[in-house]
Chains A and B, each alone.
Chain A
């Protein structure tokens, strides 16, 4: 082992994470996923593959859904980053989170933050998606536990909750299934 004097090799990134001004130092080759998890400490953003194929690391970058493993940390400079940690507010859980809980739309839970982020991106611009549209949109997020059935139903239930549709009180497999068509 040798002892080399410290010399600055890191980039300084000023960004906004979940609405909060945040600065961090990272190596130029570090992904946004690594920066979020290992530098900022937001481990709610998960790593499943590190090559853009599972969606567990989904975040919103300036409102756009991205896999944070395919974005460099330095690319977050000057942008808005939305992570799973920012979905709930002090006022309570987001309707998606509530619908996932009540509809048992998670098992191991490792993919859940990514699904909730991805579904939020959909509902933010399409408040009344069809089942097919939900499946299409979520096809970039892999879940190995649920077979997607309860996830798709939960997203549609949450959409109903958000629209304040009649009878779309949270929860209940019955409401969820009424929402979802075959």
Chain B
């Protein structure tokens, strides 16, 4: 049987073209450079369009075994015993490991050298020791000469479970008498540990001004309670890791990760060996969105390799990805805001409860810090709760926490504008956060582009265009994300032909080789392709934090700029040597060295590079940075939807995203982040959710049933890049990767509200939810 995937002929009719002058992708720029701001072909592009690039699952080593992971079929169960002897007896099986093969770490929150965590929990998530806490929790792993034998071997592992009742949502988990996931977990309240055993891992609170008084004095108050479903990052490449444990005790790991150094750090802690024993080689990564920051397979591959003395490769199936890796939390949120009759926000209150998954550590802190951060809210109270539930340990997902928070707050803002009779963008502009605005969590905003983004949205053709027809609605929403800086390292080696090789530690998920290399090229006066970037292993570059937090173009770009400046300083010395003048007299401008001491003479970068061998040897520029001035980012969406009154399906007709990039290094890839984040946000808004059965087990762990947007579900996503330079970066760069996912669910919800005259209080706004809202089903 051959299964065809060719769609039938007879596609729906094409809609008519829009006006000729309209540009779907605009860049509102005030500065121009030679390389920065241009759109060269990315350096790794040819390898990726030809299929030559080597991703996590593509590696093949001599003598390599294939591993498989046995996962708990129960969402909550005590593990009474595990017996792997029958599996080990199967011909072709070379190793089998369980938690007994890991020396148990002390249960204590410690600094992991890069953020904090409890090593015991980290270990237990890799291999369940006493309890399985979610369906899909790894309990054992085997390695065999083929993947099919390894799969057969899993069936021979005998696990004796005592099945326990599960909790799936924050409401269930916080209920009095709820089944407890952890016998030893008590609630931490900003540094203080309470004695009560609970599923509530953490509570914190921010209070600014006097919210009670401000609410009492407000003319209009809106309050809403909303919930959001658990969703997955949905990267197309499943997790993959291969390890070789050498006889000398050195371990090499090849994997697909957002941060090779994090893999090294965490694998070392799980295995209880020093970081210097591990080398992590990052292969190309097929999407991450935050979900490829945590480790899952790496320690298993290492243990299996140690036991078998062979390299071992582990690749997850799609079902394992859904059931065994970090989804992003479902949430329960109550948001209340008050304004005066003239449209001024005076108070905000939020109660935000996030599913952490099986172990504490949801992004509820970020949600709380972002929920009102786009506005000047002078009086506020925000409570945050981190709650463990029987689901996979949650992981970051693009602006983690901010999307859920915006879904709640931006609907309240929209409703306030409606009640006050104000245009929704005017109301947001009037209350927009600016430089100097104090956030409810305390800190004051630096230079930000919130106002500029809103103004560009207001001026956009989409916002002014008519939207006619029944069952249609337009919504807007505004979103904020912090971004981060953190450590990056970069070295630049000058070649004799006048080009340079750039070495970095940031794995490239979406074109960062290009955006980092372009910044070095700009400083060096070279073309984008005169800089050859390479992402290398942990033995070959200084510590570099993850590709995450929208930090790579900002922080690794910062390192590239500093390394390029170091190159120029040394190249000036070489020019001075060639000319026999003082180095301080040499000036580098454009692509040319000059010196007043050699009036009329010039040397190009290429000419100096050609003489390195005669002037003291190679030139290597290097920089290690931890830049503090990452600027926050804002995005606004304008979205038109149409609702099918019979099926309840919401179709996005038109979508525009406006975002402050500070300075777009490679505008095409900035647009790509904006469009991709928007598409994920639309999926979160309309389709995506974990369906659980009565036993708390995920029942839609495939890409057929977990419905991510296809090309047919989406319109073109128009973009406007606004550039409000970040004073903390030489070119003004702000991170762009995360904030575009923040406003879409709220914008879609506002559009649905305007189409139906009723507000959705749940994500996703699936056909069932719409039909419930319209009263067609109970």
Is there an interface contact between B318 and A147, defined as CB atoms closer than 8 Å? Answer: no
| Interface residue SS majority, chain B | loop
B668 at interface, CB cutoff 8 A: yes
Contacting residues, chain A, for B15 (C-beta < 8 A) = 132, 181-182
Contact mask B55-66 → A, CB, 8 Å, 1/0? Answer: 101101000000
B239 at interface, CB cutoff 8 A: no
Contact mask B223-259 → A, CB, 8 Å, 1/0? Answer: 0000000000111111000000000000000000000
Q: Number of residue pairs across A and B with beta carbons under 8 Å?
A: 266
From known contacts A71-B2, A177-B25, infer whether A50 and B317 are also in contact, taking CB-CB under 8 Å. Answer: yes
CB within 8 Å of A: which B385-423 residues = none
A80 at interface, CB cutoff 8 A: no
A148 at interface, CB cutoff 8 A: yes
Is there an interface contact between A84 and B12, defined as CB atoms closer than 8 Å? Answer: no
Is there an interface contact between B46 and A101, defined as CB atoms closer than 8 Å? Answer: yes
B293 at interface, CB cutoff 8 A: no
Is there an interface contact between B60 and A147, defined as CB atoms closer than 8 Å? Answer: no
A159 at interface, CB cutoff 8 A: no
A62 to B719, CA, bound (A): 40
Task: State how many angstroms separate the Cβ of A180 from the closest Cβ of chain B.
Answer: 7
From known contacts A48-B318, A173-B39, infer whether A131 and B24 are also in contact, taking CB-CB under 8 Å. Answer: no
Contacting residues, chain A, for B777 (C-beta < 8 A) = none
Residue of A nearest to B675 (CB): A147
Contacting residues, chain B, for A56 (C-beta < 8 A) = 236
Residue of A nearest to B678 (CB): A147
Is there an interface contact between B24 and A49, defined as CB atoms closer than 8 Å? Answer: no
B183 at interface, CB cutoff 8 A: no
Contacting residues, chain A, for B285 (C-beta < 8 A) = 108
Is there an interface contact between B675 and A143, defined as CB atoms closer than 8 Å? Answer: no
Contacting residues, chain B, for A53 (C-beta < 8 A) = 318, 702-704
Contacting residues, chain A, for B46 (C-beta < 8 A) = 93, 97, 101
Stretch at the interface among B86-94, B166-174, B333-341: B86-94
B16 at interface, CB cutoff 8 A: yes
From known contacts A46-B286, A84-B51, infer whether A67 and B3 are also in contact, taking CB-CB under 8 Å. Answer: yes
Contact mask A43-67 → B, CB, 8 Å, 1/0? Answer: 1111111111111101001001111
Contact mask A130-168 → B, CB, 8 Å, 1/0? Answer: 111111111111111111111111000000000000000
From A75, A88, A104, A108, give the contact of B2 (CB < 8 A): A75
Residue of B nearest to A88 (CB): B50
Task: State how many angstroms separate the Cβ of A152 from the closest Cβ of chain B.
Answer: 6
From B94, B237, B679, give the contact of A108 (CB < 8 A): B237
Is there an interface contact between B6 and A121, defined as CB atoms closer than 8 Å? Answer: yes
Contacting residues, chain A, for B17 (C-beta < 8 A) = 181-182
Residue of B nearest to A129 (CB): B11
Stretch at the interface among B274-282, B574-582, B708-716: B708-716
A15 at interface, CB cutoff 8 A: no
CB within 8 Å of B: which A53-97 residues = 53-56, 58, 61, 64-67, 70-71, 75, 83-85, 87-88, 93, 97
Is there an interface contact between A100 and B5, defined as CB atoms closer than 8 Å? Answer: no
Is there an interface contact between A139 and B237, defined as CB atoms closer than 8 Å? Answer: no
A108 to B483, CA, bound (A): 20
From B315, B703, B716, give the contact of A54 (CB < 8 A): B703
From known contacts A29-B148, A75-B2, A181-B14, infer whether A107 and B511 are also in contact, taking CB-CB under 8 Å. Answer: yes
Residue of A nearest to B48 (CB): A109
Task: State how many angstroms separate the Cβ of B520 from the closest Cβ of chain A.
Answer: 20
Contacting residues, chain B, for A37 (C-beta < 8 A) = 57-58
A151 to B714, CA, bound (A): 12
Contacting residues, chain A, for B238 (C-beta < 8 A) = 47-48
From known contacts A85-B51, A93-B50, A177-B23, infer whether A104 and B668 are also in contact, taking CB-CB under 8 Å. Answer: yes
Is there an interface contact between B3 and A71, defined as CB atoms closer than 8 Å? Answer: yes
A13 to B558, CA, bound (A): 53
Residue of A nearest to B508 (CB): A108
Residue of B nearest to A132 (CB): B14
From known contacts A142-B708, A173-B668, A177-B24, infer whether A66 and B318 are also in contact, taking CB-CB under 8 Å. Answer: no
Contacting residues, chain A, for B234 (C-beta < 8 A) = 144
A137 to B4, CA, bound (A): 13
Is there an interface contact between A148 and B5, defined as CB atoms closer than 8 Å? Answer: no
Is there an interface contact between A65 and B676, defined as CB atoms closer than 8 Å? Answer: no
Task: State how many angstroms separate the Cβ of A119 from the closest Cβ of chain B.
Answer: 11
Is there an interface contact between A70 and B3, defined as CB atoms closer than 8 Å? Answer: yes
A110 at interface, CB cutoff 8 A: yes
CB within 8 Å of A: which B503-548 residues = 509-511
A112 to B713, CA, bound (A): 19
Contacting residues, chain A, for B671 (C-beta < 8 A) = 104, 149-150
B459 at interface, CB cutoff 8 A: no
Task: State how many angstroms separate the Cβ of B322 from the closest Cβ of chain A.
Answer: 10
Is there an interface contact between A46 and B237, defined as CB atoms closer than 8 Å? Answer: yes
Is there an interface contact between B702 and A49, defined as CB atoms closer than 8 Å? Answer: yes
Contacting residues, chain B, for A107 (C-beta < 8 A) = 287, 509-511, 669, 672-673, 676
B42 at interface, CB cutoff 8 A: yes
Is there an interface contact between B45 and A130, defined as CB atoms closer than 8 Å? Answer: no
Contacting residues, chain A, for B675 (C-beta < 8 A) = 146-147, 149-150
From known contacts A50-B318, A108-B285, infer whether A45 and B51 are also in contact, taking CB-CB under 8 Å. Answer: yes
From known contacts A46-B286, A66-B2, A101-B41, infer whether A111 and B14 are also in contact, taking CB-CB under 8 Å. Answer: no
Is there an interface contact between A51 and B703, defined as CB atoms closer than 8 Å? Answer: yes
Contacting residues, chain B, for A43 (C-beta < 8 A) = 51, 54-55, 57-58, 60
From B11, B654, B702, give the contact of A130 (CB < 8 A): B11
Is there an interface contact between A101 and B23, defined as CB atoms closer than 8 Å? Answer: no
From known contacts A104-B42, A138-B711, A177-B25, infer whether A48 and B668 are also in contact, taking CB-CB under 8 Å. Answer: no
Is there an interface contact between A144 and B58, defined as CB atoms closer than 8 Å? Answer: no
Task: State how many angstroms separate the Cβ of A161 from the closest Cβ of chain B.
Answer: 14
A20 at interface, CB cutoff 8 A: no
Is there an interface contact between B89 and A2, defined as CB atoms closer than 8 Å? Answer: yes
A37 to B315, CA, bound (A): 13
Task: State how many angstroms separate the Cβ of A122 from the closest Cβ of chain B.
Answer: 9
From known contacts A67-B3, A100-B49, A108-B235, infer whether A152 and B676 are also in contact, taking CB-CB under 8 Å. Answer: no
A103 to B641, CA, bound (A): 27
CB within 8 Å of A: which B9-53 residues = 11-18, 23-25, 39, 41-42, 44-46, 48-53
A66 to B234, CA, bound (A): 22
A100 to B44, CA, bound (A): 12
A83 to B237, CA, bound (A): 18
> Which of B288, B703, B716 has the largest count of A CB atoms less than 10 A from its CB?
B716
Residue of A nearest to B511 (CB): A107
From B42, B53, B710, B715, give the contact of A182 (CB < 8 A): B715
Is there an interface contact between B672 and A61, defined as CB atoms closer than 8 Å? Answer: no
A19 at interface, CB cutoff 8 A: no
Is there an interface contact between A146 and B702, defined as CB atoms closer than 8 Å? Answer: no
A1 at interface, CB cutoff 8 A: yes
Is there an interface contact between A112 and B7, defined as CB atoms closer than 8 Å? Answer: no
From known contacts A107-B676, A140-B7, infer whether A131 and B14 are also in contact, taking CB-CB under 8 Å. Answer: yes
Is there an interface contact between A135 and B317, defined as CB atoms closer than 8 Å? Answer: no
Task: State how many angstroms separate the Cβ of B546 from the closest Cβ of chain A.
Answer: 15
From known contacts A84-B51, A112-B48, infer whether A147 and B7 are also in contact, taking CB-CB under 8 Å. Answer: no
A27 to B148, CA, bound (A): 10
From B3, B12, B679, give the contact of A148 (CB < 8 A): B679
From known contacts A53-B703, A144-B680, A177-B23, infer whether A97 and B49 are also in contact, taking CB-CB under 8 Å. Answer: yes
A116 at interface, CB cutoff 8 A: yes
Task: State how many angstroms separate the Cβ of A77 from the closest Cβ of chain B.
Answer: 12
Is there an interface contact between B711 and A52, defined as CB atoms closer than 8 Å? Answer: no
Is there an interface contact between B148 and A110, defined as CB atoms closer than 8 Å? Answer: no
B717 at interface, CB cutoff 8 A: yes
B289 at interface, CB cutoff 8 A: yes
Given A66-B3, A181-B14, list of 10 further CB < 8 A pairs? A2-B89, A43-B51, A49-B318, A84-B51, A110-B237, A110-B287, A113-B49, A113-B50, A132-B14, A140-B7
Would you list 11 pairs from A and B whose C-beta atoms are within 8 A, ordered by A residue? A46-B236, A53-B702, A87-B50, A108-B286, A109-B49, A110-B236, A135-B714, A141-B710, A146-B672, A147-B714, A149-B675
Closest 8 CB pairs of A and B: A44-B51, A110-B286, A147-B679, A109-B48, A104-B668, A147-B675, A84-B51, A107-B510
